Amino acid sequence: MQRGASAPTDRDTVAGENIRAVARLQERAAERRTPLECAADRIVAIAGRESTVAIHVIFFAVWIGLNVGVLRVHPFDPFPFVFLTMIVSLEAIFLTLFVLATQNRMTLDAERRAHLDLQVNLLSEQEMTLVLQMLREVCEHLGLHETTDSPKFKELVRRTDVTALAAHVERAMDNNEKSASREAAAG
């Protein structure tokens, strides 16, 4: 680095540009959320805190204490605490629905990111194949054939058939699952 020159900032680097692009994608995803999705996310975030567990423990202890006569108050929900059971059941139902809604949205977001990743990976594969083809031409021009004549290079320089590759992966995964099932049945 030259004397007096400053180190590149995030704004000047490719990494900084990528970080900003990802941040923009996340902002757009957040902007697409409906008010109900935002509320569900907020409820799930609050429900997942340790303080919420503590509040529930205190609430249940006070409720039970009031209704078993420990605090010398006339019980309003005597044992077996039917009203408390109803409240807890309703809370569990709604919390489950909020968690499921949040997970569904997060799954959709993950599928969008996975689709984008796939597109970028396919583009990168095509770019690398082109770069290898260009490298082969340069090596041929310079009379360098050791690497370009290798079977590995010849395999990599061919364009990847994504459909065939996906089918190959699927077959391999199916075979692994069948082997695992046989091992589990035998063991």
Give per-residue pLDDT as tens, 8-36. 665 678 889 989 988 998 899 889 899 99
Asked if residues 94 and 87 have their Cβ atoms less than 8 Å apart, the reply is no
Q: Buried b vs exposed e over 142-169: b needs ≥16 C-beta within 10 Å? A: eeeeeebeeeeeeeebeeeeeeeeeeee
Which of 44-53, 54-63, 163-172 is predicted with the least confidence, judged by mean pLDDT?
163-172
Q: Which two three-digit tokens encode residue 184?
A: 């589990």
Cα separation of 129 and 155, whole Å? 10
Burial of 46: CB neighbours in 10 Å, binned 0-12, 13-18, 19+ = exposed
Identity at 101, one-letter amino acid code? A
Asked if residues 83 and 64 have their Cβ atoms less than 8 Å apart, the reply is no
Angle at 59 between CA 53 and CA 64, to 5 degrees: 125
Cα separation of 159 and 125, whole Å? 8
What confidence category does residue 1 fall into, taking pLDDT thresholds of 50, 70 and 90?
very low
What's the average model confidence in pLDDT over 123-152?
Answer: 92
- How high is the pLDDT of residue 6? 57
What's the average model confidence in pLDDT over 83-108?
Answer: 96
Per-residue pLDDT at 106 exceeds 60: yes
Question: pLDDT averaged over the chain?
Answer: 89
Q: Which residues are CB-contacts of 75 (< 8 A; sequence separation ≥ 6)?
A: 66, 67, 68, 69
User: pTM of this prediction?
Assistant: 0.66
Q: Is the dihedral of CA 71, 76, 80, 84 positive or negative?
A: negative
Q: Which two three-digit tokens encode residue 100?
A: 């499921």
Of 1-15, 54-68, 139-153, 167-181, the range with the highest mean pLDDT is 54-68
What confidence category does residue 168 fall into, taking pLDDT thresholds of 50, 70 and 90?
confident
- How high is the pLDDT of residue 85? 97
